[in-house]
Chains A and B, each alone.
Chain A
Amino acid sequence: MINLARRVTFSLATFIALAVVSFLGIDALPGDGCTALLGRFGSDTKIESCRQENQLNDPVVVRLKNWSTDLISGDLGYSIKRDEQVSEIIIPRLRNTAVMAAVAAVIAFPSAIVVGLLLGRFPQKRSSKVVNQLSVIAMTLPEFVIATVLWLVLSIWLPIFPGVSVMPSNASVLQLLPNVWLPAFTLAVVIFAHSMRTMRASVTNVQTMPFVESAQLRGTKERTTISRHIVPAALPPVMNVVALDGAWLLTGTFVTEAVFNFQGLGRLAIDAISDRDTALILPIILFGLAVYLISSLLADSLARIFDPRLRSAKG
């Protein structure tokens, strides 16, 4: 328990430190919300009055203080360029990405674990080798290639799914569904390959350990050996990958969203960066940070659940 508290504190401290660094870093970049709105060629007077209005001329420390107090009370800020509250821009898109992430996770993780187990336990079979090769290829191809290939195959050549989406970001989930499948499949392929290979490697590793043979030589039935001895020992590294890839599903999917023009958080991030909309970029970075830190903590805790040795070593 002490250990958990210590790790949470460290994560919190990291978050705060990185948040401040991000604020200052973004602030140091050329341009601000006003130049984003009016363009670099907007007249100086207009830019100046815009800055006065939005308190952009206050000293850095003051702005940092205001921003952080706002943040703590839940106010994510205001985008000058889009003339909207940041939360209203982000939340619908976050929901969209979450739906896509959930679909991808449900498709990919359970199947990856099962397939990884089978490949690890029965590597000799012809089908094992084929599946293995395919997944190696899937894992090395970059996301944009997989997205493009799926788009080609499932949207152009075999018109099953709609390709590029034209839904507005605040469409209902039902309206969103037809557009979710292709991006979700793309993401599913990427994370399937990663989790599956980790599970397979872990199972292969565990199988060679003396305790597995020891169980077999006592007459333990194959099914029992797999379920009671091998699987729990093989899961910890996979849980780690699931947690980290899960985090990635929420924060790192902009390439896929760009290919399909899916109105999620990733697409928003790209747009915000091209627009130089600093008010928007910052919360997105912080979100990514928070998700990563939480999932690391989760991964650690899950490892402890599975391995009693880690449990008794202080919390």
Chain B
Amino acid sequence: MMTTPTQSQVLGFKAVTVRAKNESRESRPILDAISLQLEHGETLGIVGGSGSGKTTLLRLAAGVLAPGLVLERGEIETVGTNLLVASPVERESIYGSGVALVAQSVGESLTPHLNVLSHFRDAVSGEAVNERVLESLAEVGLGGEKYLHRYPHQLSGGERQRVLLALALVRSPQLLLLDEPTSALDVSIGSEVLTTIDRLQRSRGFALVCVSHDLGVVSQISKRIAVMNQGRIVELGQTSQVLRSPSHEYTKALVSSIPKLDQRIRESNSQSNETVLVCRNLGIVRGQTTRAIDSLDLEIKQGEVVGIIGESGSGKSSLLAAICGLVPISDGSLQNGDGYDLSTALQNRSRTVLSSIQMVFQNPDDSLNPMRTVAQSLSRYTQATNSEMSSVLLSVGLGEQFLTRRPHEMSGGEKQRAAIARALLAKPRLLLLDEVTSALDVTVQAAVMKTLADVQRKLNIAMIIVSHDIALVASFVDRILVLRHGQLVEQGSVDDVIKSPRDSYTQNLVEISGRRLSFELN
């Protein structure tokens, strides 16, 4: 039964509360008294960390409620209908023509055994199908017949995202819902996709709700913004207003946590002249033929912090893996400060050499053995005593009680701190950090980076920080290297690289970063 449509409203939430099915009344609800309205042609961004409820909210707008959740209170109306109680036939007729959702996992949202054209056939029939499809694809920036017969695995991440956009818009829905549209994409690709979305929204005039953990993404395409924390909307208003002068505590914390190109969170300390690492003409080969790294020269001194910026395929992870010995090198030389040849296989290295270079990995869920307590994971190979472990945990901001905790009892940030503590216990001279905060909420990231700054200052260890986030790197390191397809395209001090980049690729990256963070709407 269609309710009488409020003509101009495309989306309405009235005091919506959602809980997990088996939880008691006292526990925190997933969504707590959410109210918002969206009119025709309006754009709204929803920002929040993990666990804020933003994805649940978006999917509710699309009439999808996960099996373990229940709508305790409130009403939801999407393009005039309550999708949660609508019949399957009604839902089928509204999806695609009234509202469309583009979900988060771009890699798996396209059917692997169907080509692009076949995907469109679900929605488009009759004569001139090919022409209509070509038109849709061209609109999202994929021109040419070649895309019609490609399969999803033959498309890049950005291309897949565009196909999903075209599929969502082909029947001109009134409301488009986007869940993390660029989180799986490289920064430069993501920026282009966002530009496309913005252009489409202006020309077609559909209403848009975009959910992201990234303020920069949301601010680029939405005029209004809702900030969510722990199931509540803590702040709602015009984007530029909210971001320039936030009123709620959480929003303030969020905005201040975002790394900015011109804001340092760490001071460089004076460096010694001792070298810690020397690479000459380094080459690394992955698989049979791909050159992951090509003719790289790099020298790092004691106490120096170097940042490596690169997108996927740049070779940054291979470089770190080779430096610590997990992956062999194919050309050139790699030596530590004492002249020891670091191309020696791990099992042949002495204890001292091994401990002098340690690494922390990206995924907090993977770094600790799920069956061990923190104490066991920390001490198993370092033979550290309890007091040593307690003091190192303290230095990374974790109390003694974490010694007996297991990974499933810890948050992402806590697990990463424990992983850092474990690396520090080996007393390394060089610490490698591979996207260690990329999987964390931005507020947690800021805290972890501050901890790293403290640790670096106290122990004066050299660090290599790899990230795709140029602002994060610029705010922390002494020197920046920019990698592209295995080649070093730029190297210099932070000031030099950010203020006057010589290479066009670097210029592009700096510009995108600056644009996002200045919260300008095009």
A interface residues (Cβ-Cβ under 8 A, vs B): 209-211, 213-222, 224, 228-229, 232-233, 306-309, 312
Contact = CB atoms under 8 A, between A and B. Distances in A.
Interface of B: 62, 64, 88, 92-97, 100-101, 103-105, 108-114, 118, 122-123, 151, 153-154, 164, 167-168, 171
A232 B109 CA distance: 16
A224 B123 CA distance: 10
Nearest to B88: A222
A308 B151 contact: yes
Given A214-B103, A218-B167, A228 B153 contact: no
A220 B111 CA distance: 13
23 contacts: A209-B108, A210-B105, A210-B109, A211-B110, A215-B122, A218-B100, A218-B122, A218-B167, A218-B168, A219-B95, A219-B97, A219-B122, A220-B92, A220-B122, A221-B122, A233-B111, A233-B113, A307-B113, A308-B112, A308-B113, A308-B151, A308-B153, A309-B112
A210 B111 CA distance: 9
A209 B153 CA distance: 16
Contacts of A215: 111, 122
Nearest to B154: A312
A266 to B, nearest CB: 38
Contact of B95 (A210, A218, A229, A309): A218
Nearest to B113: A232
A89 to B, nearest CB: 47
A219 B93 contact: yes
B108 A224 contact: no
Contact of A233 (B62, B94, B112, B153): B112
Given A210-B109, A312-B154, 5 more contacts: A211-B111, A214-B110, A214-B111, A221-B92, A308-B151
Interface centre among B93, B95, B100 (most CB of A within 10 A): B95
Contact of B113 (A210, A219, A220, A306): A306
Contacts of B171: 219
B103 A213 contact: yes
Nearest to A229: B111
B123 A309 contact: no
Nearest to B153: A309
Contact of A219 (B94, B108, B111): B94
Given A218-B95, A218-B167, A219-B95, A211 B109 contact: yes
Nearest to B107: A210
B94 to A, nearest CB: 7
A15 to B, nearest CB: 31
Interface centre among A216, A217, A306 (most CB of B within 10 A): A217
Contacts of B104: 210
Contacts of A214: 103, 109-111, 164
B308 to A, nearest CB: 32
Nearest to A311: B151
A105 to B, nearest CB: 25
A228 B114 contact: yes
A164 to B, nearest CB: 48
A218 B103 CA distance: 11
A221 B111 CA distance: 15
A217 B110 contact: no
B95 A216 contact: yes
B437 to A, nearest CB: 26
Contacts of A307: 112-113
Contacts of B167: 218
Contacts of B154: 312
A210 B108 contact: yes
Contacts of B123: 218-220
A95 B111 CA distance: 43
A147 B246 CA distance: 76
Contacts of A217: 62, 64, 95-96, 100-101, 103
